[in-house]
Structure formats: structure tokens, C-alpha cells
């Protein structure tokens, strides 16, 4: 009489070695970036043999499950959210989950193109999706091992007709996050808000949201395009605003997401080791003004700045040098130096003049008397050559090289768009334009010296530094909830 098949009794370390062998084989087969990318398109995130092995017996299930279900991903569709909710109910899955990734849609196949019709159809039941999504994300506190959460929205520049719906989706996500901040404050060590709509919502002011950030050692903030989100017209804008994005940079970012060290509690971001501030449009001086001067994180070792405007005020520059005693890794991506066309470092006056002109034009249009924007002041029309840059990139690179004595990893990327290829921008009350500073060769030589200094330091220390700020999902298994 035949009975159930039983495996020979093997030591636990032998079983672990069998599982590790499958993992190593899968990793080696996917070491090529192109192969890995193609597998992602086919939703192959982990070895299929692991799934089969998990079903063999209870011992293998215990060993394999933590590796497969370490990271769960859900997209903004009913099948994905339902699958995610079902996994949360499983006693075999929930204890294993360490990371959750919510994505508006799977970014890999649709990075440079519009999602397919079936994907759009799966996202059409907006009201039901929001209800299920809020319920699912409100249960995150029930995952005992959860320490990493990634929220990624869709388009960087969504269509105007989509803005209201995306804003309502963001409202649901933030409301669910407040539950996590209330019931499990400080549980997260890594938090990412990617392609985040740059608008202020009341949830940001809730103390539970600050509790959500309390224990972080990694934080990424990546905003969507302000040009697109400036087209949001509901609710109506106050008279003193020209864009709904302004409160995000004047209130949300400095008071809620990155509060300055002085008014913040002593424990706020005390353990933050990696910070990525990535904007889709230049932020810092002209129009979207933001001051980096008060930011300080005592444990920071990795910093990424993208589309940040450097200026004579040197606040962004000081953000970097202020962390010289701890900083090991620095990324400067697509940043520019902003200088005023008139030679006066008073960007707020330029912004105020631009606002006044735009508001006047808008009010005239509303009153049935459309008029073109007024011409800029005469000193803006009288172009007499590019302005002098008081502090070019060569000076900044040299100061970084001299002050960042612990840096062992450096990544500097020029602005990549073809139409705006330069590292400098000049602004006036009515126009922003790019220009090429005469000292560009000095910039190149200074950057080469900076790179050489960092590389020689890393080599002398005999270390191979692994960046803390990296491409997501590069070397981890992901369980896709479908």
C-alpha cells in the first residue's frame, strides 16, 4: 500500500544550501541588465523553481516563503489589489513581508509609452479601486516585519483631464498611510514617494504623518512635473497664487516632509542615512523657490539632488558641505546654477513681478478682456551679454573636493535634454534661458579632479562601496500581486 512521499531527514543547513543554489543560479542567469529587463517585462522576478520547491513539504515552505514573499508589489488595478489583500490574510505570507511597493501601473513596459487598453480598462473602476486600495493599505500595520514602503504614481506629466482623479487617488493613499502612522509609528526604516503630485493635502499636516517618518534611515522624495500640475483648477486658486503647486514647496516640503532641524522634535530624522531629493523641474531659486539652508541630518551618509538650482545664496551647496563629517556618497543629477539677468541676486522680486503680470493677465481674461502678458521691463530687453556667474561649478566642485573628506562614491550627471544642454540658467521677471558660461572647461577639469580624488580615496581604503541610493528592485525578488 502506497503512502505519502516523505523526504529523507536532512539537516536544516543542507536544505538551506539547496534553496541558495537555486537563488544563485537565477541571479547568475540574470546578471546581464538586458536579460533582467526582459524578464521583468515577462513578470519573471524570481526563480519559478522556488515556487515548485515551496510546495514539496512544510520544511521547504518555511525556508522558501521568506525569500519569495519578502517584497510584495501591487498596482492600481482591481486584480492586483485583490491579490494583495488575499496575501495579507495568509498566515504563510504576512509574517514574511518586509517591503511593499505600490505603483500606479507597472512602470517597466510603460516607461516611454501609453499603457495598453487592457491596462487602462483594469483601472477604469475608479471608485471601487479607491475603496479597496484604502482598505488594503490601511492593513499594512498588520505586517509584523514590514520596514520598507514605496509609493509610485504614474505619469510625471499627466494630462489635465486626469489631474482631478489622480489627486483623489493621492488623497486615498495618504489617508491609508495615516493609519500606519497611528497604529505603527516609527515602523518604517525606508520610505519612497515617487512621481508625487506636487500639491498640498490636509493629511500632510496630521501628526500621524510625521509619526510615519519618525524612524526612517532612508527617504526618497521625487515630485511629478509642476508644469502639468499647475493646470489643476479645482478647488479654485486663492488670489495670491498662480499655481496649485506653490503650497507644496512653501508648506508641505519644508514643514511636513522635510521639517528643519530646529522646530522639529530632536528625534526627527535622527537616524536618516540616505536622502534623495529629486524634482521633475528645477527647484530652488526662480518661481518654485525652496531653501535648503536649514536641513541637517546627523547620520546622513548618502545624498542625491536632482533638478536642484544652485545659486549665490549657496543654500544647496551648504546642504552638501554641512554633512562633510558623515557623507560617503553624493549624486548630483541634472542640476543647474541660476543667476539673475539683471545682476541682482533677488529671485523673490523676479518671482513677484512674474506673478503680478500673470495674475493681471488672468484677471483680464476672466473679466472678458483678454490681453497678452505685458512686455518685460526695459532692462530685460536690453541684452548686453550673459551675466557674470559669481560662483561657477568649478568653484563648487573644488570646495566639495576639499571639504568632503570621507566621500568614496560620486555620481554627477549633466542636464540630459537636448534642447537645454547647459549647466547654467539666467532668469528675469519674464524669461528663463540657458547659456554656456565661458568657464566650462574649468568646470570639466574641476569635476575630473573631484572624481579622481574620490576614486583614489576609495582605492586607498581598499573598499568597494555599494551605493545606498540605487535603482529599485535591482537585486531583490518581488512577488507581483495578480
Strands (E), 153-291: 190-196, 218-223, 274-283
Give pLDDT, residue 420: 46
The mean per-residue pLDDT over the stretch 449-462 comes to 92
pLDDT digits (tens, 9 = 90+) for 275-295: 999 998 888 776 677 888 788
What is the secondary structure of 113-178 as a DSSP string? SPPPHHHHHHT--HHHHHHHHHHHHTTGGG-TT--EEEEE-S-SS--GGGHHHHHHHHHHHHHHHH
Sign of CA dihedral 388, 389, 395, 399: positive
Look at 127 and 370; give whichever has higher pLDDT. 127
Q: Which residues contact 475 (CB under 8 A, 6 or more apart)?
A: 27
Q: What is the mean pLDDT of the chain?
A: 78
User: Given a cut of 80, is residue 46 above it in pLDDT?
Assistant: no
Strands (E), 289-391: 302-310, 329-333, 336-340
Grid coordinates representing 385 are 551679454
User: Given a cut of 50, is residue 467 above it in pLDDT?
Assistant: yes
Helix (H, G, I), strand (E, B) or coil at 46: coil
Distance, first Cα to last Cα, the chain: 41
Helix axes 58-68, 12-29, angle to 10 degrees: 40
As beta bridge partners, residue 334 has: none
Give pLDDT, residue 124: 76
Strands (E), 284-423: 302-310, 329-333, 336-340, 409-413
Grid coordinates representing 222 are 521625487
What is the secondary structure of 316-328 as a DSSP string? HHHHHHTTTTT--
Q: What is the pTM of this model?
A: 0.82
Strands (E), 165-301: 190-196, 218-223, 274-283
User: Given a cut of 50, is residue 125 above it in pLDDT?
Assistant: yes
Of all residues in the chain, the percent with pLDDT exceeding 70 is 69
Helix axes 393-403, 440-461, angle to 10 degrees: 20
Q: What burial class does residue 326 get, using C-beta atoms within 10 Å of its C-beta: 0-12 exposed, 13-18 middle, 19+ buried?
A: middle
pLDDT digits (tens, 9 = 90+) for 413-454: 875 543 444 678 877 655 666 665 555 788 889 999 999 999
Give pLDDT, residue 10: 66
* Conformation bin of residue 343: beta by default, left when phi > 0, alpha when psi is -120 to 50: left
Give pLDDT, residue 85: 93
Task: Supply the DSSP symbol for 235.
Answer: S
Residue 300 near residue 271 (C-beta atoms within 8 A): no
User: Given a cut of 60, is residue 474 above it in pLDDT?
Assistant: no
- How far apart, in Å, are the Cα atoms of 431 and each of 229, 307, 356, 437? 20, 18, 14, 18
Cis peptide before 235 (omega within 30 of 0): yes
Helix (H, G, I), strand (E, B) or coil at 415: coil
The mean per-residue pLDDT over the stretch 371-382 comes to 46
Give pLDDT, residue 382: 46
Q: Which helix (H) or strand (E) holds 478?
A: none
Phi, psi of 151 (to 5 degrees): -115, 120
User: Given a cut of 90, is residue 478 above it in pLDDT?
Assistant: no
Give pLDDT, residue 379: 43
Q: Which helix (H) or strand (E) holds 180?
A: helix 163-183
Grid coordinates representing 266 are 530632536
Q: Which helix (H) or strand (E) holds 202?
A: none
Residue 364 — pLDDT band, cuts 50, 70, 90?
Answer: low
The mean per-residue pLDDT over the stretch 325-351 comes to 77
Angstrom distance (rounded) from CA 283 to CA 293: 14
What dihedral angle (degrees, nearest 10) is formed by the CA atoms of 132, 137, 138, 144? 140
Look at 481 and 154; give whichever has higher pLDDT. 154
Give the best-scoring range by mean pLDDT among 9-18, 72-81, 192-201, 463-472: 192-201
Angstrom distance (rounded) from CA 398 to CA 374: 42
Residue ranges of the domains in the chain?
1-68, 70-480
Amino acid at each position: 500500500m502506497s503512502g505519502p512521499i516523505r523526504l529523507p531527514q536532512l539537516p536544516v543547513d543542507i536544505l538551506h544550501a539547496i534553496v541558495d543554489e537555486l537563488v544563485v543560479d537565477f541571479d547568475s542567469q540574470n546578471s546581464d541588465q538586458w536579460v533582467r529587463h526582459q524578464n521583468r517585462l515577462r513578470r519573471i522576478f524570481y526563480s519559478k523553481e522556488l515556487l515548485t520547491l515551496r510546495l514539496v513539504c512544510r520544511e521547504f515552505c518555511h525556508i522558501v516563503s521568506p525569500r519569495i514573499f519578502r517584497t510584495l508589489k501591487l498596482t492600481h488595478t482591481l486584480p492586483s489589489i485583490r491579490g494583495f489583500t488575499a496575501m495579507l490574510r495568509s498566515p504563510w505570507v504576512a509574517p514574511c513581508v518586509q517591503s511593499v511597493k505600490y505603483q500606479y501601473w507597472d512602470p517597466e513596459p510603460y516607461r516611454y509609452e501609453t499603457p495598453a487598453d487592457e491596462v487602462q480598462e483594469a483601472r477604469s473602476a475608479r471608485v471601487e479601486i479607491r475603496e479597496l486600495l484604502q482598505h488594503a493599505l490601511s492593513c499594512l500595520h498588520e505586517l509584523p516585519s514590514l520596514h520598507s514602503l514605496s509609493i509610485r504614481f504614474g505619469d510625471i506629466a499627466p494630462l489635465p483631464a486626469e489631474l482631478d482623479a489622480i489627486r483623489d487617488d493621492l488623497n486615498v493613499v495618504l489617508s491609508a498611510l495615516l493609519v500606519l502612522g497611528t497604529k505603527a509609528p516609527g515602523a518604517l526604516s525606508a520610505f519612497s514617494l515617487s512621481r508625487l503630485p506636487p500639491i498640498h493635502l490636509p493629511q500632510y499636516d496630521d501628526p500621524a504623518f510625521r509619526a510615519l517618518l519618525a524612524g526612517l534611515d532612508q527617504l526618497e522624495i521625487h515630485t511629478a512635473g509642476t508644469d502639468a500640475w499647475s493646470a489643476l483648477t479645482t478647488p479654485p486658486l486663492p488670489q495670491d497664487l498662480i499655481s496649485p503647486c506653490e503650497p507644496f514647496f512653501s508648506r508641505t516640503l519644508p514643514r511636513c516632509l522635510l521639517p528643519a532641524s530646529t522646530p522639529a522634535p530632536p528625534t526627527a530624522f535622527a537616524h536618516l542615512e540616505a536622502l534623495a531629493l529629486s524634482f521633475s523641474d528645477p527647484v530652488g531659486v526662480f518661481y518654485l523657490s525652496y531653501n535648503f539652508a536649514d536641513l541637517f541630518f546627523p547620520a546622513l551618509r548618502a545624498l542625491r539632488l536632482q533638478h536642484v538650482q544652485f545659486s549665490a545664496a549657496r543654500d544647496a551647496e551648504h546642504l552638501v558641505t554641512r554633512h562633510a563629517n558623515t557623507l560617503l556618497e553624493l549624486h548630483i543629477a541634472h542640476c543647474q546654477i541660476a543667476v539673475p539677468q539683471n545682476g541682482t541676486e533677488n529671485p523673490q522680486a523676479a518671482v513677484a513681478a512674474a506673478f503680478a503680470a500673470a495674475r493681471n493677465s488672468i484677471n483680464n481674461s476672466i473679466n472678458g478682456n483678454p490681453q497678452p502678458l505685458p512686455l518685460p521691463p526695459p532692462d530685460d530687453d536690453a541684452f548686453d551679454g550673459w551675466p557674470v556667474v559669481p560662483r561657477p561649478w568649478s568653484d563648487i566642485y573644488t570646495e566639495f573636493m576639499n571639504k568632503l573628506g570621507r566621500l568614496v562614491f560620486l555620481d554627477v550627471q549633466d542636464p540630459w535634454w537636448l534642447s537645454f544642454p547647459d549647466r547654467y540658467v539666467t532668469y528675469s521677471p519674464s524669461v528663463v534661458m540657458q547659456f554656456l558660461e565661458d568657464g566650462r572647461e574649468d568646470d570639466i577639469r574641476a569635476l575630473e579632479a573631484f572624481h579622481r580624488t574620490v576614486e583614489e580615496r576609495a582605492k586607498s581604503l581598499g573598499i568597494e562601496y555599494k551605493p545606498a541610493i540605487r535603482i529599485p528592485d535591482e537585486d531583490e525578488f518581488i512577488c507581483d500581486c495578480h
